[in-house]
Structure 1
Amino acid sequence: MKTIFYPAAERGHVNFGWLDSYHSFSFGNWHHPEKVHFGALRVLNDDVVKGGGGFDTHPHDNMEIVSIPLKGAIAHKDSTGTEGIVYSGDVQIMSAGSGIRHSEYNASHYDPANFLQIWVFPKQQNIRPRHDQRTFDQSQRKDQWQIVVSPDPAEGGVWINQDARMALTKLSAGKDITFTPAFEGNGIYLFVLDGEVEVEGKKLERRDALGLSEIKDVSIHAVSGAELLAIEVPMFA
């Protein structure tokens, strides 16, 4: 088993007024040679967008882009003709494929919105751009994993063009839970949204993360009430 600890305090940080963002991996003007990606996981940005603020229309290609609102809602519009609101409890994915343009704005003119922007390298290049969005019953992640992103439609998550999965859980204090990858050789990136957990003898607090590879499963103990995101991805150098 190999582990990499990603302390919350060591994330990159930018504040443009309308956007206050923390980067788990190198992004924009922030570059860290040891934090470029974890396997196929390329970006995990923790974005707080001021009321009325947002990202103007911009292009992407050959990337799987997942948006998970934690607070508030994001107004989305893209070149596939999709336009709508992504609320807390929703998960949205864009397969940028051969090329897509989109914009993202805080749906509120007054209250800030906090969302995770996650990029995963695709399995197949230059596919036709696509969009998917789903609303999840958050009570179904109480002390268990709720799969929200998966290449297997039977798991109930939004579809991703990669052998990768994402799952959310809300753990009660003292609860133990195990995450098992669906694909042999995949790594697991555990991101603590809130609370405190213990993983393989390591204590993780709010916004800390732990990358694990060469592992069949991982056991997590909730020191306090906690919320976690597990990202399972193929590993490569």
Structure 2
Amino acid sequence: MAVNPVCAQVGDLPDTVEVDKVPVLSEVSVMVDYGKLIAGLVLDTETKYEVGAQVVFYNKLVLVGEYGIATLNPRGAYVNADYQSEGSYYRVGLGYKIDMNQKNNFYLGIRYGHSTYSDQGNVRIVSESGIYDTFLYPFEREDIHAQWFEAVLSSERRIWKGLYAGFNLRLRVMIDYDNQAPLDVFSIPGYGRTFDHTVPAANLYIKYSFERF
């Protein structure tokens, strides 16, 4: 009895086809904000350092944490006053990863930010007539707090293996900060200037990812 070779080949096929599964924990990354490092070398009005970590589940859901320290000396913060603020901050949040292609990734995310800092300075009031002595009012405030939300758009490109370079575009919305008198807070580490409760920002980063897919 002859056996049809086509039927024999079909019969030899496996019942199921193996499909590659994306692991639950698909990526762990560490990040450094190199834009702040460069700005600190070029500008004498600020010194900032920021690092971050990122965990990706199913190559889609992203958990992000960021931590930084900053010293801010804005020029012209107030008329007849010098001003400095310094402290630390952190941000935590969620994001969604979109693989554009083999080398480029895009992220949408939200963050909660919190800053703990101090500020200090001197107010100088000069008598225009010269009759009175110049009035000096030094101030120093400790343990000030601020908190805010951020909407974040991120894009990055693979440079080599797990090494990426990218940028974040942020829109920060103030929740609350400790108002001070008689001179209010001008700059908040991690947030920016307090003249507006909605502040846009951008930063550049280098990231190394330990990928499992």
Asked if Structure 1 and Structure 2 have the same fold, meaning a TM-score greater than 0.5 normalized by the shorter chain, the answer is: no
Q: Which has the larger radius of gyration?
A: 2
Structure having the higher strand fraction is: 2
Q: Give the TM-score range, shorter chain.
A: under 0.3
